Chain A
């Protein structure tokens, strides 16, 4: 079990680090000329400073502990995330229909569908959305492997 307030401590430090990175990143910007008295640096530096201050405040005074999901639920979330990455990676080589089919099928399975149902839903969604976007709304989508079939 995580200790009380652990989430907030980690969160606070991470936010402060992000703020610090923003400050350093902004300070490193090279400005060829100044169009106005402020320039492009101070605004991100100020936002970064607010972030650092809030992060430290959160880490110093953690609130109620956060209950993180069980390993099984985290696994389901990881699987759904993987399905989304699969969509991004598969979009060009596989084409929209198959990428959607795979992603929707995996997501449906993670949400507890039977495999047959998941695959049917995936393919149905792939073709239906392709028809809607590509044909009705005329937003072109990659054809991928199914190019001979869809053209």
Chain B
């Protein structure tokens, strides 16, 4: 196995003092922002993006920091879900169902411990699968020509619209806006300016960090303001006691199944943790049958979604690393970060940037160990973080966000742009327009256009080249299928109305 040798080299990279420090810092930051309702890992990574850029961190180190933050978010989300019945992020909604009843019974410590272990099992198990699968997928991707990449990007955008939930036209519109934002600046093929409005600042396109901070961090704070987030004046006791070996033995099959399910759903573009957690939960509830007390504080009910959550995070790294197609907001931001370093993720990444890829993968193993240690004995510290009043927390987020935007280009225009995008992002969320497709469109736009034009150059302008090769054709058919999926699902549900009850 060549992967083992490369992974060993990766550990040498990941264990360098700087990278280890960044992995720990990311794990910590991620757990904190995951724990705090409202600020998710996407926002944290958006805030980190200008910092790593301005500090000129090596690309590998930047990615290690971001990945650890992403992972940490998966661990942190459960804390408020269990203790306060408030999910720290959307993917921990399912954890409230059994976690809160457990906390009410005084079993908060037990629920927090088993979910930390579940997160570790899911995260680490999925990284093992990633280690085995990603190089193979990348190798298969090497055979892809421009037409296949066009199909892949279209599939990613269609999946974000079709599986992402909500209105498909709105999601597609968001994706189209993302594609249009990607065209702003100098066209690489001909050197002409597109949509620059004569502004010098737009010649290189709109800075990715500005868009991400505006649409995610600023918009999020405005939304919290609107909801009049009151904060928590007290957090219930975590409770004494904890886990027995019997608990681990009883939940292990649950963790194994949920981890595998989460991993594979994570690979799908547009699906991710918000789909993986309810699926894992309902599988376990069905398997438990009458013996389960799901919804009343069954320990398997907290282990399943948290394991699936973290497994899906590792799964979602695969399409980004191996094919250059991110499937979630967070991996899209990471890919955007790599592009700031002039590194284009894709099949060639494993060949041309092997130290980066394997350093990152090795750091994922380390981050999971760090997170497990952090989240077992230090759990009380993170619980205390929930007591920070909103009037301290959110203005701080704003200040950090804007200091970061400034650090990138020292541009007043960027600050104004981030504000405008923040308001636009808030309004878009209110109107039910998802922002993940926009982000995907923006990150993938150049790649999509370049590959369309490359393919057409190969065929002398004959567009059938985009559909003629078998893999490309399959990808197009799959795209249409996922776009129509909501309608199909509705039709199936209408046919058997009793089944979902």
28 contacts between A and B (CB under 8 A): A11-B431, A15-B177, A22-B180, A29-B192, A31-B190, A35-B190, A36-B453, A37-B453, A38-B452, A40-B189, A43-B453, A51-B176, A54-B176, A55-B173, A58-B167, A66-B431, A85-B419, A87-B415, A89-B412, A91-B406, A92-B412, A104-B395, A111-B225, A111-B395, A113-B389, A125-B396, A139-B54, A141-B403
Contact call B406/A80, Cβ cutoff below 8 A: no
Mostly, the B contact residues are: helix
Taking CB atoms, residues of chain A closer than 8 Å to B189 are 35-36, 38-40
Q: Which of B51, B177, B456 contacts A18 (CB 8 A)?
A: B177
**Given A25-B195, A80-B225 in contact, is the A15-B190 Cβ separation under 8 Å?**
no
B contacts, CB < 8 Å to A: 51, 54-55, 167, 169-170, 172-173, 175-177, 179-180, 183, 187, 189-190, 192-195, 218, 221-222, 225-226, 228-229, 389-392, 394-396, 398-400, 402-403, 406-407, 412, 415-416, 418-419, 422-423, 426, 430-433, 448-449, 452-454, 456-457, 460-461
Contact call A107/B419, Cβ cutoff below 8 A: no
Taking CB atoms, residues of chain B closer than 8 Å to A121 are 391-392, 395
**Given A58-B173, A81-B422 in contact, is the A110-B225 Cβ separation under 8 Å?**
yes
Q: Report how far A38 CA is from B150 CA in the complex, Å.
A: 15
Contact call B415/A47, Cβ cutoff below 8 A: no
Q: Report how far A43 CA is from B188 CA in the complex, Å.
A: 13
Q: Report how far A39 CA is from B187 CA in the complex, Å.
A: 9
Tally of A-B residue pairs with Cβ under 8 A? Answer: 194
Does A34 sit at the interface, judged by CB under 8 A? yes
Please list the 8 inter-chain residue pairs (A to B) with the smallest Cβ-Cβ separation, ordered nearest first. Answer: A37-B461, A88-B415, A113-B391, A54-B173, A111-B391, A107-B395, A40-B187, A47-B179
Q: Report how far A109 CA is from B398 CA in the complex, Å.
A: 13
Produce 1/0 per residue, A98-114, CB < 8 A to B.
00100111011111110
Contact call A73/B226, Cβ cutoff below 8 A: yes
Chain B nearest CB, measured from A63 CB (Å) = 6
Q: Which of B169, B390, B395, B426 contacts A77 (CB 8 A)?
A: B426
Contact call B402/A43, Cβ cutoff below 8 A: no
Which residue from chain A places its CB closest to the CB of B408 in the assembled complex?
A139
Taking CB atoms, residues of chain B closer than 8 Å to A58 are 167, 169-170, 173
Contact call B225/A77, Cβ cutoff below 8 A: yes
Taking CB atoms, residues of chain A closer than 8 Å to B412 are 88-89, 91-92
Taking CB atoms, residues of chain B closer than 8 Å to A139 are 54-55, 407
Taking CB atoms, residues of chain B closer than 8 Å to A44 are 179-180, 183, 194-195
Contact call B225/A96, Cβ cutoff below 8 A: no
Interface range on chain A (Cβ under 8 Å from partner): 35 or more
Contact call B399/A15, Cβ cutoff below 8 A: no
Contact call B403/A43, Cβ cutoff below 8 A: no
Chain B nearest CB, measured from A20 CB (Å) = 12
Q: Report how far A18 CA is from B418 CA in the complex, Å.
A: 19
Contact call B190/A39, Cβ cutoff below 8 A: yes
- 6 more A-B residue pairs beyond the given contacts A39-B190, A73-B228, with a C-beta to C-beta distance below 8 A: A7-B430, A36-B457, A40-B192, A77-B225, A107-B221, A125-B396
| CB contact list, A100-150 vs B, under 8 A | 100, 103-105, 107-113, 117-118, 121-122, 125-126, 129, 133, 137, 139, 141
Q: Report how far A137 CA is from B57 CA in the complex, Å.
A: 11
Q: Report how far A12 CA is from B195 CA in the complex, Å.
A: 22
Q: Report how far A69 CA is from B222 CA in the complex, Å.
A: 12
Q: Report how far A37 CA is from B457 CA in the complex, Å.
A: 6
**Residue from A31, A40, A55, A89 with most neighbouring chain B CB atoms (10 Å):** A40
Q: Report how far A75 CA is from B412 CA in the complex, Å.
A: 25
Q: Report how far A57 CA is from B416 CA in the complex, Å.
A: 32
Contact call A107/B394, Cβ cutoff below 8 A: yes
Taking CB atoms, residues of chain B closer than 8 Å to A36 are 189, 453-454, 456-457
Chain A nearest CB, measured from B349 CB (Å) = 25
Does A76 sit at the interface, judged by CB under 8 A? yes
